[in-house]
Structure 1
Amino acid sequence: MLGGNNDVPAWNPVLVRSYKKNYDQTKNEPVYLQIASAKSNGVPKIQRLVFQDFLLADPKVLLFSAATRNAELMAVVKGSQTHEIFWQMPKTGESFTISGRLYMVAAPTMSHRFGAPPRRVTIGDSDIHPDEFWEQERLRQWKRLSPIYRASFTWPAPGESKHSLPKDGSSVYRASTVRLTGATGIDTGYKYTRLDAMDENTGAATGLFGALSGFVNGNGRAATNGSQLSKEEELRCVHNGALDNFCLLVMKAVKVDHWTPNTVAPPVRMLYEAMKDGSWTQEELNP
């Protein structure tokens, strides 16, 4: 939820006000921004992220959403200790350059690949285990997505060739039916352009592997007792696969550089920086 607690750094309300001025929150459309980082070989890399929210327990923490099947982005997040976000506001022209550490919150079924949720981020409730807290937050953010953006988590891996063909010669981009690819993924091409969130009581929170149990035969084809999936079974599998693909990227900010344009005077540039004792400094810079 946008807002904070009693220990709100000075840049937080500035960013919140700017966010409200620049985006129509009633439309529930994705808010895109860029992350700049370096890959393990030192090559610079820029990726798109989608802003989700501020963490209610700690307003220094920002939440973003991403797809775990985006291999390049996952490599950038896991391979670097420091990351930088550039956020250009579309209406006011302001920009925020936010530096900090990114942590990943993936589905429990993906913990063997991406590790456990962050332990160095304040969650506010000492009675709840961090793993449980972060999974609840991941599910909460999943339900807040627009149906159009949610459907993008059913699509093929970003950055891969759109004309590449699977080994069996079929194309997921032209296929009109769902093709389940065993216990490692669910391949629907671009069949789904809208996807509603399902109640986790129907199995949505159990992940893809549970949903596929009994649905895939030895040839990797979708089947239930040798027959095709029903529409309800297909939708449940697709939803659960998309939910497994959905992850949160949690940034704990340590520096915020805010640049504001001015039509009658030089632009205003303010730097906010975290100190070791948890306090924040604030300094005006030359633009």
Structure 2
Amino acid sequence: MKRSGDISMHCLSFRGFLKDDNRFFKFIVAMNDHILMGDIKSNPNAKINWNMPNTKEYYNFKGKFYIASAPIQVTRFPPPKIMDDEGTAQEYWEEQRIHQWQELDEKSRAVFTWPSRAEVPRANDIAFSCQSLNSDTSIIHDIAMDNFCLLVYKVTDVEYFDYSCYPPKRLLYTYSLKSNSWDIQTSNP
């Protein structure tokens, strides 16, 4: 929800679960995506809807967004603390961010040099002028890497609805910090 009370919707590309804690979803985003970043800064609490039309299942997640950005970037919502035996939370998230960056292909990396989403370029095709990061200029690579953020979503509640069977089933999952496990309740479909 925006500060104005309007609902804000974004399509995010799911990049996987955090291997150390599967309550965390990973997405990637550009630091200069002012629309999405503004919405997260306005209210980091959000809902994610995941529909699976082939299996007729719905997942509605409640949780909170965190931003793992380049160390030179300043964000209001740093990534959550993760219990890690080695290093600090900042080092942990920077390793995660770099790992995700390395999994991207060259064209996907180049996108992080482009202007903000929906911004109208001042000159024709200037937004797409950087097509390759393989050139000798490491400055372009640094700009893209500094603009690259790992967007982390920590799930706290899940509503699962399956209408492939009769009667349909609806399950509610709530994470309990006390027991470090999910509490499951069956609800009326």
After TM superposition, the score normalised by the length of structure 2 is: 0.86
Report deviation, 1:57: 1.9
Query: SS of the residue aligned with 1:52?
Result: strand
State the match for 2:71 in structure 1.
Answer: 108
Query: SS of the residue aligned with 2:73?
Result: helix
The count of aligned residue pairs is 188
In structure 1, what residue type is equivalent to 2:52? M
In structure 1, what residue type is equivalent to 2:89? P
1:191 correspondence with 2:93 = no
What is the correspondence of 1:1-287 to structure 2 with a 5 Å cutoff?
38-89=1-52, 91-111=54-74, 114-115=75-76, 117-118=78-79, 120-123=80-83, 125-160=84-119, 162=120, 164-165=121-122, 171=123, 173-175=124-126, 189-193=127-131, 231-233=135-137, 236-262=138-164, 265-277=166-178, 278-287=180-189
Cα RMSD between the aligned structures?
Answer: 2.3
Mapped to 2, the partners of 1:174 and 1:253 lie a distance apart of: 39
Check conservation: 2:81, 2:89, Cα contact below 8 A. no
Return closer, same or farther for 1:194/1:97 CA change in 2, 3 Å cut-off: farther
Mapped to 2, the partners of 1:127 and 1:276 lie a distance apart of: 23
Work out which structure has the larger RCO, using CA pairs closer than 8 Å and 6 or more positions apart in sequence. Answer: 2
In structure 2, what residue type is equivalent to 1:144? E
After TM superposition, the score normalised by the length of structure 1 is: 0.59
Could you give the per-residue CA deviations for residues 220-268 of structure 1, whole angstroms, max 9, x where no partner exists? xxxxxxxxxxx412xx222221111110111221101122231x52433
Higher strand share: 2
State the match for 1:205 in structure 2.
Answer: none
Mapped to 1, the partners of 2:170 and 2:115 lie a distance apart of: 41
Q: Percent identity?
A: 32
Return closer, same or farther for 1:91/1:149 CA change in 2, 3 Å cut-off: farther
Return closer, same or farther for 1:88/1:150 CA change in 2, 3 Å cut-off: farther
From the CA coordinates, give the structure whose radius of gyration is larger.
1
